[in-house]
Amino acid sequence: MSMPSNFPRISVVTPCYNHVQYIRWTVRSVLLQRYPNLEYIFMDGGSTDGTQDAIARYRDRFSYYVSEKDKGQSDAIHRGFLQSTGEIMAYLNSDDMLAPGALYYVAEFFRTHPDVDVLYSHRCTVDAANKSIWYWILPQHSNYLMRRWDLIPQETTFWRRRIFEKAGNIDPQYRFAMDYELFVRFMLEGKFHRADRFLGSFRQHDNAKTSQLLETVGKDEIAQVWQKYGLKSSRLDPVVSMRFFNAAMRNGARYAASGKMLPGGLAGIGWDYNELWGGMLNETRLPVVS
């Protein structure tokens, strides 16, 4: 049996506010990773819908748990990162999930690729009932594209502490594009890599912040980021970003149609994410701690 000390510590921060329907899946998808050196930081913003009851049984598995009123999602993540000690860092929103074996993969990848600072993967999207609905199949990482659009699937992104310390913590001012702002800073400092697989799943549902905020504050904030870091200089940029975005979607559709499977996902659309987990997401037990 492999020794736990072989694996670097991975810190995962989950900011949460009133997501009782999905929080169990999110938490279980992290804790069922069986990763031996996991630091799971749970930042609850004082949920009032029973979220705390839903995760009560997992409370002792969190390395750090706090439930108090915060100044929003990015503030919670910011404070969560301040608590973290892991060599590898990530945050997972309270409606997203990790794929089985994702943490092992990330640890192994960073071990074998010492030059890479940030790792992300394609995006697999599920709906409120955990059924897969669409994919982004992204090309090889390109800073050129990243400067022009918020294309990094945040739920699949892991990074080393060294880039975090260089580029700084997440900016609590942002409500929507805090990940993009953070990743742009990472991009300016370090090296990205896109894994040809799925590391997690993004949930699209009616109350999802992404769909609500993109049109309102989202675009403004992305524009702010561009302005702040002097990106997006060409007039063709909107065209490029839109074409890229369409291509990612189209490739996702092609991938779904091909009937092939990438690691971390099943073939096609409409499959249950819980099935990928062998039905374990809907159960209540957790692996025993050695």
Partner 1 sequence: MIGPHGENLAFILGLPRSGTTLLSVMLGKHHEIYVPPEPWLMLALESLGKTSPRHPANSQVIGGALQEFLGEEGMLNVARAAALEAYNSKLAQVGRPWLADKTPRYYLILPFLRKMFPAAKFIWLTRNPAAVAASYKTTWGMDLPGLLAGGGDNWAYYDLVLGPRRLLQFCREMHGAVYWIKYEDLVQNPEQHLRQLTNWIGLWPVDGLSEFNTDGATATSYAGDKKIVGTQRPHADSIDAWESVFSNEELQVLLDAVGAEVFQQSGYGKVLERFAQRGVYARTPEITQSYVDRADALLSNRWQDVAEASTPPQSAGEESLAAGARPERADVVIQHVRRELAEKETALEQAKSNAIQLNGELATLRDAYGKLLLDRNTWAEQAKHLAAVVQGYEEPTFKKLLVRAQKLAAVWVIGRPGLVAKAQRPLPKISLVTPCFNAAHTIGDAIESVRAQKYENLEYIVVDGGSTDGTQKILSDYQAAGVIAKVISEPDNGMYDAIRKGFAVATGEIFCYLNADDAFEPGGLRRVGEYFRDHPRVNLIYHEDTVQINGWLFANSRQVHCDTIELMRGYMLFQDGVFWRRGLYEVIGGASGTLRFAGDYDLWLRMSRAAKFVRRPAHVSRFRIRHGQLSSNMNKYRAEQQVIRRKFWTGLPFIAKARIRALHGVTVVKNICHVLRRRHLYFAMDLQNLPPPVTTPPPRIVDAPRCPLTGAPPDRLLFSTPDTRYGDKAINYVYYNSASGVAMAYPPRSESELTALYAEHYSNADARPIEPPEGSTSPYRKWFGGGWMDRLLFKRFYLISQLRNKNFSWNDPTVNELLSVTDPRFPWHGRRLSFLDVGCFRGELLDKLKTATDWDLAGLEPNERAVAVAREKGHKVWPASAADAPYVIPEGVSFDLIFLGQTIEHFTDPVGVMRRLRMLLAPGGAIVLSTPNLDSRQIDLFGPTWAHWHIPYHRALYSRRSIELLASQSELRMDKFVTHSHPYWSAMSLWLNEFGLAGAVPHGQSPPTRHCARAVELSQYARWFWNWRGRGDYLYAMFSPRGGQ
* Cβ-proximal residues to 88 (8 Å cutoff; 6+ apart), any chain: 8, 9, 10, 11, 106, 107, 110, 158, 159, 160, 161
DSSP-based three-state secondary structure for 48: coil
User: What mask of x and - would describe binding to partner 1 in positions 194 to 213, judged by CB under 8 A?
Assistant: --xx------x------x--
Residues 142-171 that bind partner 1 (CB under 8 A): none
Q: How far is the CB of 82 from partner 1 (least distance, A)?
A: 26
Please select the residue that binds partner 1; options are 266, 272, 273, 281, rule is CB under 8 A.
266
- Assess contact for 92 and 26: CB atoms under 8 A: yes
Q: Does 108 bind partner 1 (CB under 8 A)?
A: yes
Backbone angles phi, psi at 143, to 5 degrees: -65, -30
Q: Does 50 bind partner 1 (CB under 8 A)?
A: no
Distance CA 281, CA 27 (A): 9
- Assess contact for 72 and 175: CB atoms under 8 A: yes
Distance CA 44, CA 32 (A): 20
> Segment near partner 1 (CB under 8 A), from 69-77, 163-171, 180-188, 273-281?
273-281
Neighbouring CB atoms inside 10 A of 182's CB total 28
Distance CA 45, CA 16 (A): 6
> Segment near partner 1 (CB under 8 A), from 86-94, 139-147, 166-174, 247-255?
247-255
Q: Does 238 bind partner 1 (CB under 8 A)?
A: no
Distance CA 38, CA 119 (A): 17
Q: Does 262 bind partner 1 (CB under 8 A)?
A: yes
Residues paired with 136 in a beta bridge = 123
DSSP-based three-state secondary structure for 31: helix
Rounded to whole angstroms, the maximal C-alpha distance in the chain is: 57
> Segment near partner 1 (CB under 8 A), from 67-75, 131-139, 175-183, 185-193?
131-139
Number of residues in contact with partner 1 under rule CB under 8 A: 54
Nearer to partner 1, 79 or 141 (CB): 141
Q: Does 254 bind partner 1 (CB under 8 A)?
A: yes
Q: Does 270 bind partner 1 (CB under 8 A)?
A: yes
Instruction: Give the pairing of strands 158-160 and 88-91.
Output: antiparallel
Q: Does 35 bind partner 1 (CB under 8 A)?
A: yes
Q: Does 190 bind partner 1 (CB under 8 A)?
A: no
Nearer to partner 1, 198 or 226 (CB): 198
Q: Does 114 bind partner 1 (CB under 8 A)?
A: no
Distance CA 10, CA 167 (A): 19
Q: How far is the CB of 71 from partner 1 (least distance, A)?
A: 26
Q: Does 63 bind partner 1 (CB under 8 A)?
A: no
Residue ranges binding partner 1 (CB under 8 A) = 1-2, 4, 32-37, 100-101, 104-105, 107-108, 133-135, 196-197, 204, 211, 214-215, 245-246, 249-250, 252-254, 256-257, 259, 261-264, 266, 268-270, 275-280, 285-290
